[in-house]
Amino acid sequence: MAPPKSWIPIPAHHHFSLSNIPFGIIYSKHDSSRRPAVAIGDFVLDLKAFSHHNGFSALPSFGDLSVFEQTTLNAFAGLGRPVHREVRAYLQDIFSESTKHPELLRDNEEVKKAAFLPKFETKNVLPLHIGDYTDFFAGINHAFNVGTMFRGPANALQPNYTHLPVGYHGRASSVVVSGTPIRRPNGQILLDPTADPKIPTFGPSRRLDIELELGAFLCTGNKLGEPIRVANAEENIFGYVLMNDWSARDIQTWEYVPLGPFNAKNFGTSISPWVVLVDALESFRAKKIINETEILPYLKETREDTVYDIKLEVDLTTPDGATTTISKTSGANLLWSFPQMIAHHTVGGCPMQTGDLLGSGTISGKGGNDVGSLLELNQGGKKDIMLAGMDVRKFLKDGDTITLRGVCGDEEGGLVGFGECVGTIESAIVF
């Protein structure tokens, strides 16, 4: 099916087609204030300026224009999915070749000058204020691949893994937008795991890794003591971003027993800047990985296609500029869906809030070049990862840049993508 046409020139390979309309927060060359925007091709529509020029006058049911005066998307997200759906559809019509309201933007040079900006003249910041961040472990292939390295295939998965979405609470304060440099962390490291007694040393992580994930932002939450039912949980999701949950494997190995990761994870988590709304992904639903375990009723969904067939890629660029695509996989490689994660997170009464961020956990295939971490690519540090120019890596060096990409669909039908999630490693602080 041919994609809907826009009066805006949008290259066929562009992630931000008329079928997408992702939301973000920008500032621009001539206006340093942070304000909401949507992306379309190589342009952004400043929603604050658009609303000031009566851009929403043909949508009388949407009356709360103050949400576009805010410096985050929290207020807009908090209006709920029916409003998001209505506003997205309205903007799709505004951008459409056959728009019903050409006077509001297409044929209005004054409004275009004020609100319709070339993307290169703008910068992104975090799209929402993140109150809390929880990282799950829903990628069963990653869990099995890594578990096998340490415990063998018979004991790779913990007994609880197929019964519940395993998760831990991360640090919202170190979630950063794409393009923010990541400082190599210092920490306690056990150089010789066979030593007795086991005495750690202190220094920069030598096994700095990536984790390819999806992130979900919540639009609405629940009251303390009132769980969100799995059947309704998707209505609480605002949209999705790419996520790189940077990991210091050597620090993690020493510290994670008995309470899980701490300093190995809290130094940085990168996310892509544009939030792709749930409705934009509707055509790309896919079935989860089959769970052979009989799960408890509160986690049972009425449909199996509750994940998405997102084509995910990871590039590693060395300090000399050579780039290698080191992994390609699918966002459907999950055992648990985000609605199941929300249902489990709140089953004991935990209150969720607008802007809360959930991570999927590392998304991997079963092996080879379809995995979401260097630890899997290098088989626990045993194998070199070959890069362009005959360079090699096991883990990240200072100056390395990681770029995540994710996109759904094809050029014929109009791509729905996330853009990029980029981070470059900086040297550790010297103590």
144-153: Cβ within 8 A, 24+ apart: 145/364, 145/366, 145/367, 145/371, 145/376, 146/373, 146/375, 146/376, 149/375, 149/379, 149/380, 150/380
- From residue 136, how far is each of 141, 193, 201, 427 by CA, in Å? 14, 27, 29, 28
Q: Which of 338, 292, 286 is nearest to 312 (CA)?
A: 286
Query: What is the distance between the alpha carbons of residues 24 and 35, in angstroms, rounded to a whole number?
Result: 8
Q: How many of the other CB atoms lie within 10 Å of CB of 167?
A: 19
Q: Which of 232, 275, 240 is nearest to 363 (CA)?
A: 240
- From residue 18, how far is each of 3, 12, 77, 422 by CA, in Å? 8, 11, 21, 24
- Residue written as token pair 């996310």: 271
Burial class (CB in 10 A: 0-12, 13-18, 19+), 343: buried
> Would residue 13 show up in a list of annotated catalytic residues for this protein?
no
Choose the catalytic residue: 14, 53, 84, 142. Answer: 142
At residue 205, the 3 state secondary structure works out as coil
Q: Which residues are the active-site residues?
A: 142
